[in-house]
Amino acid sequence: MTIIPQDAEAVSPLQRVAYHAWRIRRFALRMGEVQGQGYVGQALGWADVLAVAYCHAMKIRPADPHWEGRDRFLLSHGHYAIALYAALLEAEIIPESELETYGSDDSRLPMSGMATYTPGMEMSGGSLGQGLPIGVGMALGLRLKNNPAWVFNSMSDGELDEGSTWEAALSASHHKLSNLIALVDLNKQQADGNSHEILEFEPLVDKWQAFGWHVQRVDGNDLAAVVTAFDNAMSLTELKPRVILFDTLMGKSVDFLETREKNHFIRVDQDEWQAALSVLDANYEKGGF
């Protein structure tokens, strides 16, 4: 990708995505500090998947975010905007100078992701359960145009509650949309609490398989596993849509947020943002690069 560590030649591909994942987490925390709030727990948990998507798997042109040949990335869970902005900053689609406008009046980076505001944002999310059915239409359209681009739909486990998600799951399989990859964040937290107590969606592997999808379930914070899962999904020859179910940990890489009482919105006090960055940096150094 575009930003690589200084001794790029010396590092492995895995170290490279680790570097990008660390920087995506940093951007997210810095935006969180601007607003004094935000879905940073989700951003920290989803950063590894975003790093692999934007810095390993997808074809993009940062200077031309709507290039016809790009791989499409739909952010169905609009509240993860802070996470995607961090990835778009890391991919240099959004200039770093805009970071500090996050969530402010007239910013191109509103709290909930909207295609009408932000370069590189492919849909207006927020009303959950819309990304996958939009992805079905885009995948059908790409196939009709003989365009080999991929459609990735990034979604939360809460969106598994929505009927429209399953309408799309049926349809993608019916139309054999092998250019569609769903990325599901299983952080098991929804607005009212633990996902399993809100509306049980397990057994998920069985469900998606029964709907005719190729299914993988991996630890979404094990970078090697995430890279392998993307590689697998993109190299299959089966005429099936693909889903990767990622078990993730909200607050990942900032120990005191990982262990904080889990809910939809992790509380971060004003004096904790700098501490969070310090812990993140220390963990990254420890992980070795």
Partner 1 sequence: MGADANKKPRLTTSAMIASIASEGQRTEAAPFGHALVAAAQQDSRIVGMTADLSKYTDLHIFARDFPERHFQMGMAEQLLMAAAGGMAKEGLVPFATTYAVFATRRAYDFIHQVIAEENLNVKICAALPGLTTGYGPSHQATDDLALMRAVPGLTVIDPCDALDTAQAVAEIAAYNGPVYMRLLRGKVPLVLDQYDYRFELGKAKLLRGGKDVLIISSGIMTMRALEVAELLGDGSADVAVLHVPTIKPLDEATIIEECRRSGRLVIVAENHSTVGGLGEAVALALLKARVHPEFRQIALPDAFLDAGALPTLHDRYGISTATMAANIRVWLG
Q: Within 10 Å of residue 209's Cβ, how many Cβ atoms? A: 14
What minimum distance in Å lies between the beta carbon of 161 and partner 1?
Answer: 14
Q: Within 10 Å of residue 142's Cβ, how many Cβ atoms? A: 19
Name the residue with tokens 């947020």.
Answer: 257
User: Which of residues 167, 219, 222, 281 is near partner 1 by CB under 8 A?
Assistant: 167
Show the CA angle centred on residue 251, arms to residues 28 and 267, nearest 5°.
85
What minimum distance in Å lies between the beta carbon of 150 and partner 1?
Answer: 13
Part in contact with partner 1 (CB under 8 A); list of ranges 2-10, 79-87, 134-142, 229-237: 134-142
For partner 1, the closer CB: 26 or 240? 240
Part in contact with partner 1 (CB under 8 A); list of ranges 32-40, 101-109, 113-121, 204-212: 113-121
Name the residue with tokens 């930003």.
Answer: 3
Asked whether position 168 contacts partner 1 by CB under 8 A, the answer is: yes
For partner 1, the closer CB: 134 or 229? 134
Asked whether position 113 contacts partner 1 by CB under 8 A, the answer is: no
- Cα distance between residue 125 and residue 121, in whole Å: 10
User: Which of residues 115, 204, 205, 277 is near partner 1 by CB under 8 A?
Assistant: 115
What minimum distance in Å lies between the beta carbon of 74 and partner 1?
Answer: 9
For partner 1, the closer CB: 59 or 196? 59
- Cα distance between residue 171 and residue 21, in whole Å: 33
- Number of chain positions touching partner 1 (CB under 8 A): 31
19 token code pair: 């570097």
Asked whether position 139 contacts partner 1 by CB under 8 A, the answer is: yes
- Cα distance between residue 121 and residue 88, in whole Å: 9
CB 190 within 8 A of CB 198: yes
For partner 1, the closer CB: 37 or 147? 147
Which helix (H) or strand (E) is 72 found in, with range?
A: strand 72-75
Asked whether position 38 contacts partner 1 by CB under 8 A, the answer is: no
Amino acid letter at 213?
W
Alpha helices by DSSP H, the chain: 13-35, 40-52, 81-90, 131-144, 163-174, 195-198, 204-210, 223-235, 255-258, 273-287
For partner 1, the closer CB: 76 or 216? 76
What minimum distance in Å lies between the beta carbon of 268 and partner 1?
Answer: 29
Asked whether position 148 contacts partner 1 by CB under 8 A, the answer is: no
Residue among 179, 176, 135 at smallest CA distance from 155: 135
Asked whether position 183 contacts partner 1 by CB under 8 A, the answer is: no
Asked whether position 141 contacts partner 1 by CB under 8 A, the answer is: yes
Q: What is the DSSP letter of 157?
A: G
β-bridge partners, 214 = 242
Residue among 225, 122, 229, 211 at smallest CA distance from 174: 211
Asked whether position 154 contacts partner 1 by CB under 8 A, the answer is: no
Asked whether position 134 contacts partner 1 by CB under 8 A, the answer is: yes
77 token code pair: 């869970």
Asked whether position 203 contacts partner 1 by CB under 8 A, the answer is: no
Asked whether position 114 contacts partner 1 by CB under 8 A, the answer is: yes
Task: Using CB under 8 A, list all residues that contact partner 1.
Answer: 114-116, 122-124, 126-127, 129-130, 133-142, 144-145, 147, 163-164, 167-168, 170-171, 174-175
